[in-house]
């Protein structure tokens, strides 16, 4: 099981899940935030750490996901699906908060949906 959640940084420096935000980020050109990534209930990326994420193929259809000392193996197709799903959700929420950025967000969504990569079933 892969859980990937996106957060926006608020003016008071705290983080809020993007779907709970009701105010637009103060700078539409530089939206600050963070993610949390959990694989099989093991935290890999948390809000309190800089993001240096390393992906390594273990074999056909498998990935090792590493962030600092934390690591977990997962199916590549499941990981890519989770990243795409959260990315699409994130940009949908940004469209809600920053409708003036819809054109930029549409390009990101297009990239997410057109990106080549493994599909469910491996490879």
- Whether the per-residue pLDDT at 120 is higher than 50: the answer is no
Per the structure, how many domains does the chain have? Answer: 1
**Is 39 domain-assigned?**
yes
Residue 115, pLDDT score:
65
- Whether the per-residue pLDDT at 37 is higher than 80: the answer is yes
Residue 121, pLDDT score:
47
Find all residues with CB under 8 Å of 18, minimum gap 6, and list them.
Answer: 6, 7, 8, 33, 89, 90, 93, 94, 97
**Is 107 domain-assigned?**
yes
Q: Percent of the chain, pLDDT > 70?
A: 93
- Whether the per-residue pLDDT at 117 is higher than 80: the answer is no
**Is 123 domain-assigned?**
no
**Is 34 domain-assigned?**
yes
- Whether the per-residue pLDDT at 108 is higher than 80: the answer is yes
**Is 122 domain-assigned?**
no
- Whether the per-residue pLDDT at 36 is higher than 60: the answer is yes
**Digit-coded pLDDT (tens) for 57-83:** 998 999 999 999 999 999 999 999 999
**Is 79 domain-assigned?**
yes
The domain in which residue 53 lies consists of 2-114
- Whether the per-residue pLDDT at 34 is higher than 50: the answer is yes
CB neighbours (10 Å) of residue 21?
A: 17
**Is 66 domain-assigned?**
yes
**Is 77 domain-assigned?**
yes
């Amino acid at each position: 099981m892969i859980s990937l959640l996106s957060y926006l940084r608020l003016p008071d420096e705290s983080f809020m899940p993007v779907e709970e935000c009701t105010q637009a980020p103060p700078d539409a050109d530089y939206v600050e935030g963070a993610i949390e990534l959990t694989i099989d209930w093991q935290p890999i990326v948390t809000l309190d750490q800089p993001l240096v994420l390393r992906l390594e193929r273990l074999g056909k259809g498998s990935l090792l996901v590493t962030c600092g000392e934390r690591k977990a193996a997962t199916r590549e197709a499941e990981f890519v699906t989770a990243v795409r799903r959260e990315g699409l959700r994130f940009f949908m929420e940004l469209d809600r908060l920053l409708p003036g950025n819809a054109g930029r967000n549409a390009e990101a969504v297009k990239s997410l949906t057109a990106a080549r990569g493994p599909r469910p079933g491996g490879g």
